[in-house]
């Protein structure tokens, strides 16, 4: 089913943030298609029919989404949904699980909750589609697009014009490295060594995407995982706002990802890769919560236990009433209000550190 976008709402937020004008979000889409690779931060239904604990197609998830629970891990729209609005699409990008027919020409969302760069990441929660699996699904989409066009050259030129967003790595930490009872990686590698191993594998996966025709690629850095309510509740902070050791580890990954962006841009001059600095955007919001409209940044809106995060949002749970005042929806995921800020600043950078070397708005103009 097609989901009509709430463009006016997004425009209002963008204007308030000084990010974008009305004229930039109406008319034809800035790109013909938008392909999304990721985890639960952007999953919109690919895990619904998998045997896994990592699913959210039940209330109160989607409480503020116009069609209710869909498999999105938040109260409303995800960052990918909002980005689609900013790009000018008339409908949200469908999940691979249900995408079919001519609709795939506008793009496909392959994201799967609990997925990681490494295949084993998230296996403690059940089935999920790792990045390698998502790339295989993209191959299927490419074959189907070729069948529509009936010509390799036309298909390739079309795919070259699309926007590709890739954002994985969180589960390689949350549901791998920092779960020593399930995984051995924390005993095999120091945090910096682990970041190196992850980036080496990520590099090959992104090069595979390039070989499939991707020429405009936005790579999301990891957010401050040590600040999510689950880690605060289970790891402890020793009086600090967040779990510092986790954030240090995450920053090893992000620094190496920036270096990878430089390497990719140097080696593939017919393409452009950018880095979205979700770490700095998030920490700025947390540090200046009230100025961004948030009153609570360390507790979940929906959940149980310490910080409402020891047990995440369960079916028929009663969430907080003032969801726009919370940065986190559940133990792991942001609210729509927080995603609005992240999407706005990734699309149109408000600080020199928000994106590198370009923001999405300029990337899609190339």
| Degrees to nearest 5, angle at CA 23 with 20 and 26 | 105
266 is catalytic: no
66 is catalytic: no
- Take residue 254 and report the two structure tokens written for it: 């992000």
Catalytic residue among 43, 138, 165, 333: 333
Catalytic residue among 39, 40, 64, 354: 40
Question: Within a 10 A sphere around the Cβ of 94, how many other Cβ atoms?
Answer: 20
362 is catalytic: no
Catalytic residue among 330, 337, 346, 359: 330
CA dihedral sign of residues 11, 14, 20, 21: positive
Angle between helices 7-16 and 79-87 (to 10 degrees): 90
SS (H, E, C) 165-232: EEECCHHHHHHHHCCCCCCCHHHHCCHHHHHHHHHHHHHHHHHHHHHCCCCEEEEECCCCHHHCHHHH
To which H or E segment does residue 170 belong? helix 170-172
Closest CA to 83 of 325, 341, 332: 341
Q: Which residues are catalytic?
A: 40, 330, 333
């Amino acid at each position: 089913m097609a989901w009509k976008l709430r463009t006016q709402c997004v425009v209002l937020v963008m204007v308030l943030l000084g990010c974008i004008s009305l004229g930039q979000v109406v008319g034809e889409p800035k790109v013909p298609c938008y392909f999304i690779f990721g985890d639960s931060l952007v999953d919109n239904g690919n895990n619904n029919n998998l045997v896994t604990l990592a699913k959210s197609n039940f209330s109160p998830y989607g409480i503020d989404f116009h069609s209710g629970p869909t498999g999105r891990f938040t109260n409303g729209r995800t960052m990918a949904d909002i980005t689609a609005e900013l790009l000018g699409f008339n409908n949200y990008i469908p999940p691979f699980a249900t995408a079919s027919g001519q609709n795939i020409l506008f793009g496909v969302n392959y994201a799967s909750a609990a997925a990681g760069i490494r295949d084993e990441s998230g296996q403690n929660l059940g089935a999920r589609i790792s990045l390698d699996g998502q790339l295989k699904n993209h191959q299927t989409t490419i074959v189907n697009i070729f069948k529509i066009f009936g010509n390799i050259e036309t298909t390739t030129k079309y795919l070259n014009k699309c926007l590709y967003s890739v954002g994985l790595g969180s589960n390689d930490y949350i549901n791998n490295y920092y779960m020593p009872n399930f995984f051995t990686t924390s005993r095999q590698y120091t945090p910096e060594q682990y970041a190196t191993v992850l980036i080496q594998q990520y590099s090959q996966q992104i090069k595979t995407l390039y070989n499939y025709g991707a020429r405009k690629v936005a790579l999301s850095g990891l957010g401050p995982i040590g600040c999510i309510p689950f880690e605060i509740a289970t790891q402890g902070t020793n009086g600090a706002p967040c779990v510092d050791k986790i954030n240090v580890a995450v920053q090893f990954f992000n620094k190496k990802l920036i270096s990878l962006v430089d390497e990719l841009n140097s080696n593939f001059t017919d393409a452009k890769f950018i880095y979205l600095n979700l770490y700095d955007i998030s920490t700025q919001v947390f540090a200046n919560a009230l100025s961004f409209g948030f009153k609570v940044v360390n507790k979940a809106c929906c959940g149980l236990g310490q910080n409402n995060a020891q047990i995440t949002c369960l079916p028929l749970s009663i969430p907080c009433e003032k969801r726009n005042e919370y940065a986190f929806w559940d133990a792991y995921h942001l609210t729509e209000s927080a995603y609005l800020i992240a999407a706005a600043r990734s699309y149109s950078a408000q600080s020199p550190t928000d994106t590198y070397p370009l923001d999405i708005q300029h990337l899609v103009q190339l």
